[in-house]
Amino acid sequence: MITVAGPTAQSELDPLSETSKEQLLEIAMGPQHPSTHGVFRMNVVLDGEHVVRLKPVFGYLHRNHEKIAESETYLGSMPYTDRLDYMCPITNNWAYALAVEKLAGIQVPERAEYLRVIVGELTRLQNHACLIGFLMQDMGASGTPLMYAFREREKILDLFESLTGARMMCNYMRFGGCRADLPAGWLDRAKIVVAGFPGFLDEYEQLLVGNEILMDRTQEVGVLSRQLAVSAGISGPMARASGVDYDIRKVDHYSIYDRFAFRVPLGSHGDVYDRFMVRLLEMRESVGILEQAMRDIPAGPIVDPKTKIRGFRPKPGEAYGRIESPKGELGFYLISDGSPNPYRYRVRPPSLINLTVLEDLCVGRNVADVVAILGSIDIVLGEVDR
């Protein structure tokens, strides 16, 4: 939809004078648009090709997730978490399980902690690889980068399917552990996938990192300052690309992340290129974590035998559990009144929080840059709208 904002037009976006409005063009990108990564709309006001105002419009995929959870049992909400960031269902399970475990004082066995780290870092690999592929596609590249990413993603989804019975809606975590132990031969297959991943990253970097068109389209584009990233609550790779040294795996040491040696890549410019590079570097660190976890995983139970599934009623209280999901800080806030279902259930979705600075990144840029900037944020609308 394209409309010319005339003297009588009622623009939602800005209070510009009626004279200046005559020179502006208002464009609605979405809600179904190839570059919006789901049912999402951007109302963009342009002066020529330069962005003057931008208003994100979302809510098309709202599913009442949080209120439904307040009428479900605690365990009954676990499959719903898969549908938040549907690219990363297992990490959604993990954050929710962590919140309930804090609320009820549940301990997680050693083997289950290692399993959680392994599937969590595999999730990070496939998320970052696909994000880069989608970003290249959005900027007009051929399908090659995306197809390379999906080739590697298929290998990881095959592992998830053999472990959980599902490729995407995995429903794998349980309070106090995991739903299933590793099938015979699974760990050997996973080691082969992980051992081959650095070769894929080498191939990806050779194809993309020094590409002149990519550098021209991404460097000094969509710059997010460190100050704005902190004040707006931005997290994950997007914040680290702006130089914010903050990774919940290091800050909270949740699960057993304090046992693994890994670095936290940081950018210095906070532009689209830095956000692209940080994700490339994070994948190499995830490979290192996976190698350590698969080497050291112990035998033992995969769920705390003291955890009661039937009649699960945490004592009255509240808890907030958070993890470093592939997109940033994913948190669940729960209040228990002693009943079988949460009294209050709220999600802290990184996709939504990171999206709040979209206008700041786009104003003054060309409309073609908007597509690249949005793609570098990494959103999934199931998590934005809930």
Q: What would the pLDDT profile of 137-159 be if each residue is shown by its tens digit? A: 878 777 788 888 889 899 999 99
In angstroms, the CA 267 to CA 330 distance is 22
pLDDT at res. 13: 47
In angstroms, the CA 332 to CA 207 distance is 39
Q: How confident is the model at residue 2 (pLDDT cuts 50, 70, 90)?
A: very low
pLDDT digits (tens, 9 = 90+) for 83-113: 888 888 999 999 999 999 999 889 999 999 9
pLDDT at res. 218: 87
Q: How confident is the model at residue 6 (pLDDT cuts 50, 70, 90)?
A: very low
Q: Where are the beta strands (DSSP E) in 60-105?
A: none
Q: How confident is the model at residue 284 (pLDDT cuts 50, 70, 90)?
A: very high
Residue 346 DSSP one-character state: E
pLDDT at res. 309: 75
Q: Which of 107-121, 230-244, 367-381 has the lowest mean pLDDT?
A: 367-381
CA angle 19–20–23, rounded 5-degree value? 105
Residues whose CB is less than 8 angstroms from the CB of residue 256 and which lie 6 or more positions away in sequence, other chains included: 110, 113, 114, 117
Higher per-residue confidence, 65 vs 11: 65
In angstroms, the CA 265 to CA 262 distance is 10
What percentage of the chain reaches a pLDDT higher than 90?
44
pLDDT at res. 290: 95
pLDDT at res. 19: 43
Q: How confident is the model at residue 342 (pLDDT cuts 50, 70, 90)?
A: very high
Please identify which residue in the block is written with the tokens 């365990």. 75
CA dihedral 139→144→150→152, nearest 10 degrees, is -120
Please identify which residue in the block is written with the tokens 């106090």. 176
pLDDT at res. 33: 62
In angstroms, the CA 253 to CA 259 distance is 9
In angstroms, the CA 103 to CA 352 distance is 25
pLDDT at res. 378: 84
In angstroms, the CA 277 to CA 241 distance is 8
In angstroms, the CA 43 to CA 11 distance is 10
Mean pLDDT of 246-269: 92
Per-residue exposure over 115-142, b if at least 16 CB sit within 10 Å of its own CB, e if not: bbbbbbbbbbbbbbbbbbbbbbbbbebe
Q: How confident is the model at residue 259 (pLDDT cuts 50, 70, 90)?
A: very high
In angstroms, the CA 345 to CA 267 distance is 35
In angstroms, the CA 285 to CA 276 distance is 15
User: What angle, rounded to 10 degrees, do the helices at 186-208 and 144-164 form?
Assistant: 170
Phi–psi pair at 93, nearest 5 degrees: -55, -45
- Residue 123, pLDDT > 50, answer yes
Per-residue exposure over 204-229, b if at least 16 CB sit within 10 Å of its own CB, e if not: beeebeeeeebeebbeebbbbebeeb
Please identify which residue in the block is written with the tokens 């609605």. 28
Mean pLDDT of 68-73: 91
pLDDT at res. 244: 92
Please identify which residue in the block is written with the tokens 């998830």. 160
pLDDT digits (tens, 9 = 90+) for 180-215: 899 999 999 999 999 999 998 998 888 888 888 888
Residues whose CB is less than 8 angstroms from the CB of residue 253 and which lie 6 or more positions away in sequence, other chains included: none
